[in-house]
Amino acid sequence: MSKGFPSYKFNLEHDKVRFERRWEKDVEKTGKEFERGLITKKEFNRRMTHFNKRLNREISHA
C-alpha cells in the first residue's frame, strides 16, 4: 500500500460493491419468482422496497 492512502477508503469501496452485488442477487431472484407467478405483485413491490432501503442504509452507514 502506498504511503498516504488510507485503507478505510478501499474498505468502503469494497463494502459498497459487496452490498450492491447482494442487492442485484436479491432483485434477480425476486424478479424470477414474480415471473413464474410464485409471488404476487404486492409481495414483489414489498421486497423491492425492502432491498432498496437496506442498500441505502448499508451504504450510508458503511
**Residue 52 counted as domain residue:** yes
pLDDT at position 1: 47
- Residue range(s) defining the domain that contains residue 21: 9-61
**Cβ density class 9-37: b for 16+ within 10 Å, e for less:** eeeeeeeeeebeeebeebeeebeeebeee
**Residue 34 counted as domain residue:** yes
For the stretch 4-43, pLDDT in tens is 666 666 777 888 899 999 999 999 999 999 999 999 999 9
**Residue 16 counted as domain residue:** yes
Domain count, the chain: 1
The answer, as to whether pTM is greater than 0.85, is no
**Residue 37 counted as domain residue:** yes
Residue 46 CA to residue 29 CA, distance in Å, equals 14
62, 15 Cβ separation under 8 angstroms? yes
